[in-house]
Structure 1
Amino acid sequence: MRSVQALAIAVLSVLAISDVSLAGEPKSGGIFRIYHRDSPGSASIHEGSTYSINIPFMPVFNNLVIFDQHIAQNSTETIRPELAESWAWNGDNKTLTFKLRRDVKWHDGKPFTSADVKCTFDMLMGKSPQKFRQNPRKSWYDEVDDVTANGDYEASFNLKRPQPALLSLLASGYTPIYPCHLSPAEMRTKPVGTGPFKFVEFKANESIKLVKNPDYFKKGLPYLDGIEFTIITNRSTAILGFVSGKFDMTFPTEVSIPLLKDVKSQAPNAVCVVEPNNVSTNIIINSSGPPFDNIDIRRALALALDRKAFIQIMFEGQGDIGGTMEPAPSGLWAMPKDMMESIPGYGPDIEKNREEARKLMQKAGYGPDKHLQIKVSTRNIAVYRDPAIILIDQIKSIYIDAELDVVDTAQWFPKIARKDYSLGLNLTGNAVDEPDQSFYENYACGSERNYTNYCNKDIEKLFDQQSEETDVSKRKKMVWEIDKKLQEDVARPIIFHARTGTCWQPYVKNVTIMSNSSYNGYRYEDVWLDK
């Protein structure tokens, strides 16, 4: 049945491309110029924890399956075949088998086969002699027993138990297939893929360049001759470059609401969209040592937050309050508003919440005459620094004096993965709007991306229960209860979910910004320039 669905989807995709062509015949040629907000630590998507890597390097690769690049809300209904021609679950929903394309070559000319699929996931599961330096999404595949190659053009994922979410995880921009014949070290500096664009060069703190893959298996694509990213860490300077015509598009989802007004006033013909991006701004608390091993201090922090003030200051009110899962309507798994507002710290009476927080701080030995002195660590880019400064101001009200500690991008994720911080202001992007991704990756005991050392075995059992549930309505209620418990446990206090802007010049065609993930929409194979 699923194989038939995949075939039908492929036909519909071809028809959709035909419709686009009728609306305006795509033109081949041109370099797509985008500014980049910072310099990624490497070119290896599998070792990264930021879409600073996905955006420039997703065009180099392909997945087995991918979310439709022109439907803004990712869901199981928008999954399309890519390196796989079709897929099917077996009767007990514990084996997922992919039939693979036979006409695909790696950029170095070697053929793509099922061995590459097996190698990729063996590395992700930690079963390969070759190891990733960092493996932040290893927990995605905890329920995969093994991946088997059945001849050169069929691969099967054999699961320990049913996991309906697996297909969505495989469709993420974080799940490219890597070549078996290259090492993880080579992929960090000179990535080789099967995708529409080939890697040319990456000059740290300067630029990233890609060129058209003339042998791409999708005939007639890509339209562009190449893509060039210029690294500009100053956001105002980058915006000026866009409005002056130096760049064809801003860095995706990086234009703040106030800056959006500047863009529209200076470049009135620019096309700008504002979307939620399924990235939460949150507090990470290292609870393994003092002072935050004290639950009262952690709860006081959560009670001190004025979430609406953050949203008003940073986004002029265009943001959302929620838990771990992205708020509705863009988010598919958001808990109901009345349920959310019953969580301590989420109620509307901010002063009442802070009075309770001050009592907890006094219980822990702090007060008007004895303030807690800490550092708030954060990544040295504006979308991290700005809310960190607001956080520092807000927690003064509960006897906490904090100093800002900014960390370069290349060091930020390794630093917090080592738990080398006390309190941090972090952005957590959900690569897929899917509870398995968010819960296991960010909150499971021992997960590499569980930066807070939070570990609750009872809640982890609930993770497994919701993961196996095939009835979506039942699963949603289970997800809401888990999300509520995570907030009550002060596991990683969620401050807000952002809405951010992306702008492009009017001659740029076929760009779609996703509304429930900022990690999945950058293949750019059918983007074209009408000039």
Structure 2
Amino acid sequence: MRRDFRTCAVAAVLLTTTAAAAPALAQKPGGVLRVYSLDSPASMSIHEEATVFAQRPMMGVFNNLVIFKQDVPQNSLQSVVPDLATGWSWSEDGTELTFPLRQGITWHDGKPFTAADVKCTWDLLTGRSTDKLRLNPRKAWYRNLEEVTANGDYEVAFRLKRPQPAFVALLASGYSPVYPCHVPARDMRTRPIGTGPFKFVEFKPNEGIKVTRNPDYWKKDRPYLDGIEYTIIKNVSTAVLAFTAGKFDLTLGLPLPVVKDIRSQRPEAICQLAPTNVSRNLLLNRDKPPFDNPDLRRAMAMSLDREAFIDILTEGTGSIGGTMQPPPEGLWGMPPGLLKTLPGYGPDVQKNRGEARAIMQKLGYGPDKRLQIKLSARDIPFFRDPAVILIDQLKEIYIDAELEVVDTAQWFPKITRKDYTV
């Protein structure tokens, strides 16, 4: 189930800080953007984190080789533009991707950016480097990458094991910055150095994150802001009250009812609803009994009332999808007609649950013998709330779940270790 992204900003701030809001001549440079963040990441290293609460503040510290254009739908290769690269080209057989690089760019510590930095980054991500990441959430992205070679100082080539036209989209993600070769991975967790429009200032866990303008940024007249300050407030109600009181300029990822409250309290606020590829999923550890039984997994999938999640959590503004973002925003998502043929995706929820109960009874469960499980969720509302709904729905098929909430800093290591059941 995909949820939509809701953001509100006070008009005066939005118009002076968002590059895509108006032509460049209308921009007014200066000022510090004040934003709150609902969670505290384990570190500032994008390549070691899987949460937007690290990626969002640090994305401006770095550059990619290529990046999705930020003011158009980011759902096709046509929206990818050069960043540190000046362009790209494929070999005739589709297995080698070559990037000529921009010259004269420096890291925030003054050292020159070269092709060696690109090679070092992807050697680190694929485990070929002597330096190692503590966590590598996106290592699977590069299973098809044979090697990266530097052709002099200003050209790199990515050689693939087989053709993969969508590989460019992985490199354009906000989770694919280029790291400096001369800075160890451990230092990037606490003092990241990039080539981007903002320089890292500080990260105080559970308190805040600060970045400041890079006066030597290689893109002329950018950035407009003098800095961005993120204050970590884990309680949504407290954070929203602070926004409506004028303590913050921008708020992100709000439930729709809260957006309505903000509109009534701050009529001058600009609120926008936009689709994202953020999804809520039921994940089962198939290595741990009884979830190694495919029949049990099928029964759990058939117990779900997906529309109920959308109605309760987003007032009907989300979409049901499979692995990929569903149409029309998702170009590669499974069509709704085909999706409905999968177990548990049909519209008759009661019929699905009847079949699920029959499966559970064959496995030895029933009203007098219920399956007791522990259900883990990140300790933030966007994941806690659907977990509570899931617990209620699983009761329909003789499963009683105990909710375990986990801090974000511990969540991704826990998932990596497969230290969970559901």
TM range, normalised to the smaller chain? Answer: over 0.9
TM-aligned CA deviation for residue 338 of structure 1 = 1.6
Paired letter, 2:39: D
Is this contact kept in 1: 2:36–2:250, CA < 8 A? yes
Partner of 2:182: 181
Partner of 1:150: 151
Aligned runs of 1:195-234 on 2, under 5 Å? Answer: 195-234=196-235
Partner of 1:81: 82
Paired letter, 1:400: I
Say which SS state the counterpart of residue 283 (structure 2) adopts.
strand
Partner of 1:141: 142
- Rounded Cα–Cα distance in structure 2 between residues aligned with 1:140 and 1:391: 30
- Rounded Cα–Cα distance in structure 1 between residues aligned with 2:75 and 2:112: 30
Say which SS state the counterpart of residue 283 (structure 1) adopts.
coil
Paired letter, 1:147: V
- Rounded Cα–Cα distance in structure 2 between residues aligned with 1:357 and 1:280: 24
Large movers: runs of 4+ above 3 Å: 17-24
- Rounded Cα–Cα distance in structure 1 between residues aligned with 2:24 and 2:288: 61
- Rounded Cα–Cα distance in structure 1 between residues aligned with 2:164 and 2:75: 18
Say which SS state the counterpart of residue 250 (structure 2) adopts.
coil
Paired letter, 1:30: G
Partner of 2:281: 282
Shift in CA distance, 62/287, structure 1 to aligned 2, threshold 3 Å:
same
Shift in CA distance, 205/92, structure 1 to aligned 2, threshold 3 Å:
same
TM-score (normalizing by structure 1): 0.75
TM-aligned CA deviation for residue 277 of structure 1 = 1.1
- Rounded Cα–Cα distance in structure 2 between residues aligned with 1:312 and 1:126: 43
Give the total of aligned pairs: 405
- Rounded Cα–Cα distance in structure 1 between residues aligned with 2:407 and 2:46: 19
Shift in CA distance, 412/266, structure 1 to aligned 2, threshold 3 Å:
same
TM-aligned CA deviation for residue 334 of structure 1 = 2.0
Is this contact kept in 2: 1:280–1:324, CA < 8 A? no
Identity %: 60
- Rounded Cα–Cα distance in structure 2 between residues aligned with 1:39 and 1:60: 18
Q: List per-residue Cα deviations over 1:161-209 (Å, max 9, x = no partner).
A: 2111111111110100000000000000000000000000000000100
Partner of 1:104: 105
- Rounded Cα–Cα distance in structure 2 between residues aligned with 1:89 and 1:369: 62
The answer to whether the aligner puts 1:329 opposite 2:328 as a matched pair is yes
- Rounded Cα–Cα distance in structure 1 between residues aligned with 2:144 and 2:257: 44
- Rounded Cα–Cα distance in structure 1 between residues aligned with 2:254 and 2:25: 28
The answer to whether the aligner puts 1:388 opposite 2:371 as a matched pair is no
Partner of 1:407: 406
Shift in CA distance, 392/18, structure 1 to aligned 2, threshold 3 Å:
closer
Paired letter, 1:248: D
Question: Any gaps of 5 or more consecutive residues in structure 1?
Answer: 1-16, 424-531
Partner of 2:258: 259
Say which SS state the counterpart of residue 84 (structure 1) adopts.
coil
Shift in CA distance, 352/20, structure 1 to aligned 2, threshold 3 Å:
closer
Paired letter, 1:371: R
- Rounded Cα–Cα distance in structure 2 between residues aligned with 1:171 and 1:73: 10
- Rounded Cα–Cα distance in structure 1 between residues aligned with 2:195 and 2:20: 26
- Rounded Cα–Cα distance in structure 1 between residues aligned with 2:396 and 2:20: 58
Question: Any gaps of 5 or more consecutive residues in structure 2?
Answer: 1-17
Q: List per-residue Cα deviations over 1:278-298 (Å, max 9, x = no partner).
A: 111111111112221222211
The answer to whether the aligner puts 1:46 opposite 2:47 as a matched pair is yes
Is this contact kept in 1: 2:196–2:217, CA < 8 A? yes
Is this contact kept in 2: 1:29–1:224, CA < 8 A? yes
Paired letter, 1:283: L
- Rounded Cα–Cα distance in structure 1 between residues aligned with 2:24 and 2:195: 29
- Rounded Cα–Cα distance in structure 2 between residues aligned with 1:395 and 1:249: 37
- Rounded Cα–Cα distance in structure 2 between residues aligned with 1:200 and 1:206: 14
TM-aligned CA deviation for residue 73 of structure 1 = 3.1
Aligned runs of 1:483-498 on 2, under 5 Å? Answer: none
TM-aligned CA deviation for residue 384 of structure 1 = 0.5
Partner of 2:246: 245
TM-aligned CA deviation for residue 131 of structure 1 = 0.7
- Rounded Cα–Cα distance in structure 1 between residues aligned with 2:140 and 2:125: 9
Partner of 1:313: 312
Is this contact kept in 2: 1:68–1:74, CA < 8 A? no
TM-aligned CA deviation for residue 72 of structure 1 = 2.8
Shift in CA distance, 52/327, structure 1 to aligned 2, threshold 3 Å:
same
Is this contact kept in 1: 2:75–2:331, CA < 8 A? no
Paired letter, 2:62: F
Is this contact kept in 1: 2:68–2:74, CA < 8 A? no
Paired letter, 2:245: S
TM-aligned CA deviation for residue 57 of structure 1 = 0.4
Aligned runs of 1:8-27 on 2, under 5 Å? Answer: 22=23, 25-27=26-28
- Rounded Cα–Cα distance in structure 2 between residues aligned with 1:124 and 1:73: 24
Paired letter, 2:353: R
TM-aligned CA deviation for residue 18 of structure 1 = 11
- Rounded Cα–Cα distance in structure 1 between residues aligned with 2:21 and 2:70: 13
Partner of 1:434: none
Is this contact kept in 2: 1:119–1:128, CA < 8 A? yes
Bigger mean CA offset, 365-374 vs 19-28: 19-28
TM-aligned CA deviation for residue 158 of structure 1 = 1.5
Say which SS state the counterpart of residue 347 (structure 2) adopts.
coil
- Rounded Cα–Cα distance in structure 2 between residues aligned with 1:406 and 1:75: 36
Partner of 2:365: 366
TM-score (normalizing by structure 2): 0.94
What is the CA RMSD across the aligned residues, in angstroms? Answer: 1.5
The answer to whether the aligner puts 1:55 opposite 2:26 as a matched pair is no
The answer to whether the aligner puts 1:117 opposite 2:118 as a matched pair is yes
Is this contact kept in 2: 1:105–1:112, CA < 8 A? yes
